[in-house]
Structure 1
Amino acid sequence: YGVVGVHHVGILCQNLERSLHFYQNILEGLCINEARPHHKLPYRGAWLWVGSEMIHLMELPNPDPLLGRPEHGGRDRHACIAIRDVDVLKQILDEAGICYTMSRSGRPAIFTRDPDANALEFTQI
C-alpha cells in the first residue's frame, strides 16, 4: 500500500464524439491511449493521455444538474491540468468561443467547462 499518484480522472459525457473533439482538437495534444481498449466495458468511452495520467471519458447519463452550476469552475468539482502557457490557452479558448474565468487568486490559471459542463482548471507550471 502507498499512494503514488493520480492514475486517471473519470468524466461523464453525453456524446463521446463531441467530447473527443473538445479534448483532442480544442485542447490539443490529448491522444487516445490505444492500450486501454474500451470494448470490454458496457458503455462507450475513451482513455486520453494527459502527460503520464489519463482522463477516462464515459458516455453515461449524468446524475448532476447541468444548469445552476457556479460560473467560476473553482467553486465546483473540477480536475486540474498542468500547462506551460496560460496565455496560449486563453487565445485558443477565445478563438473557439469557449467561456472561461481566470483564477481569482491571481495565479496563472484558467477555469472552463467541457461540452457537458464538467469544470476544468488549467494551471501554468
Structure 2
Amino acid sequence: MQINHFLHTALNVTDLAKAEHFYSDILGLQKAERDLKFPGIWYQIGDYQLHLLVAPENPPSKNQERWGRNRHLAFSVSDIAAVKQRLTAAGQNFQVSGSGRPAVFVRDPDDNVIELGEI
C-alpha cells in the first residue's frame, strides 16, 4: 500500500451555524459543493477539504493550558500578524505558540483546535 495524497479531515460540530460563522467569517474559508443528505459543510482549501459533520456532542480538549498539545489541524498562513489582527477584531481568543514559531492556536465553537502557522 502507498498513500499518495491527503484528501480531507472531518470534524464534529454540534451547532452548524456557529461553526459556519467561525470557519467562513472568522477564518475566511471558502465552501465547497456538497451533495449529501446529512447536515454538514465542506470547505475547499487548495486541493484539501475540511468536512464539518453535525454530531450531538464533541468531547472537549484535554489540555486547557497549551492548546497545541491537543488534537488539532494546522493550516499555513502567509502573515501571522494579519491573522492575530483578524482574530482579535473578531473577539476570538487564541494562544501564541510556546515554541517561538510564528503560529497561533484558536478554538472553534466546539473546542476543536486549529493551528495557524506562518511558513
Scaled by the length of structure 1, what TM-score is found? 0.87
Do residues 33 (structure 1) and 32 (structure 2) align?
yes
Are 1:6 and 2:1 matched, yes or no?
Answer: no
Distance apart, 1:72 and its partner CA: 2.3
SS at 1:54 equivalent: strand
1:22 maps to what in 2? 22
Alignment of 1:49-64 (within 5 A): 49-64=44-59
Question: Unpaired segments of 5 or more residues in structure 2?
Answer: none
Q: Does the CA-based 8 Å contact 2:80-2:117 persist in structure 1?
A: yes
* 2:73 equivalent to 1:79: yes
Deviations 1:60-81 (CA, angstroms, capped at 9, x unpaired): 12352x3754232211000101
**What's the Cα RMSD here?**
1.6
Give the aligned partner of residue 123 of structure 1.
117
Question: What whole-Å deviation, never above 9, does each CA across 1:29-54 have from its counterpart, x for those lacking one?
Answer: x11111x3122xxx310110122101
TM-score for both structures, normalised by structure 2: 0.91
Instruction: Name the SS of the counterpart of 1:105 in structure 2.
Output: coil
Give the aligned partner of residue 48 of structure 1: 43
Q: Which residue of 1 aligns with 2:83?
A: 89
Q: 2:14–2:58: 8 Å Cα contact kept in structure 1?
A: no
C-alpha displacement at 1:113, in angstroms? 0.3
- Ranges in structure 1 where 5+ consecutive residues have no aligned partner: none
- Give the whole-Å Cα distance in 1 for the aligned partners of 2:77 and 2:97: 14
Aligned length: 119
Q: After TM superposition, give the deviation of residue 2 of structure 1 in Å.
A: 1.6
